[in-house]
Amino acid sequence: MTYGIPKPLLPVGGKPVIDYVIDNLMTAKEITTIYVAVSHMENTIRSYFVHTPRNKVSIETITTLGWETAGDLKIVAIEKGIDEPIVVAYGDNVTNINIAKMIEFHKKKDRKATIALFKVPKAEVGRFGIAKMEDNFITEFVEKPSKGISSNLANAGYYVIEPEVISMLPDKKIKMEELIFPKLAKERELVGFVYHPKYWLDIGTLEAYRKANRMMEGILPP
């Protein structure tokens, strides 16, 4: 399917996945600009936003190299000269999260980064980045653990980072989840914002995509 339509534009419940992400981001008045990192079928994504403008927010596409979550974030930050806190959102899941509350929580905790977390069934922890927490601090972060881990708090694909985290990012293909989050956890600079979504749906497989559509159309319960 993604040979013809880029994943962020796949419709779920009659609405492109990226629009759910934008709706979540726009719960925060502080967010006035959204940068969309694109590499695969970038012209299609760029054209979508040209023809689908938003009120109250500017959306700009930035061509990246497909360098995963850390590498592409570094490209965007350098190109746009970002020197303030950033909300990062993955473009391939559907959920409802109040980003305004997450930003408020991040400011209160006063650490370098905050990750949104939600509970998943123990049998599914191997599909996600999993965080162990003590008093809101993430003490350990393991990306898709292959062995048992005494936590089921999963990375929801939304996080807030301070500008100094950008300087930690290498100029190469690498994931935040494998390099940066474990390091920040050891430094006690990573906190978890646990929320309880009505739904959290990824579209990483055809079956998951079909299920997401059935749920958002009310055929299946959340």
Quick: pLDDT tens for 65-99: 999 999 999 999 999 999 999 999 999 899 999 99
Considering the entire predicted model, what is its pTM?
0.92
**pLDDT over 80 at 221, yes or no:** no
19-41, pLDDT tens digit by residue?
999 999 999 999 999 999 998 88
Q: What is the mean pLDDT of the chain?
A: 93
Owner of token pair 């898709």: 144
The CA-atom distances, in angstroms, between 78 and each of 16, 169, 176, 191, 207 are 28, 11, 16, 25, 37
pLDDT at 222: 59
What is the spatial distance between Cα 110 and Cα 85, in angstroms, rounded to a whole number?
A: 12
CATH fold for domain 7-216? Spore Coat Polysaccharide Biosynthesis Protein SpsA; Chain A (3.90.550)
- Per DSSP, helices labelled H in 81-160 are 99-109
Report, as an integer, the average pLDDT of 53-72. 92
Owner of token pair 């994931």: 175
118-169, pLDDT tens digit by residue?
999 998 899 899 999 999 999 999 999 987 788 999 999 999 999 999 999 9
174-197, pLDDT tens digit by residue?
999 999 999 999 999 999 999 999
Domain residue spans in the chain?
Answer: 7-216
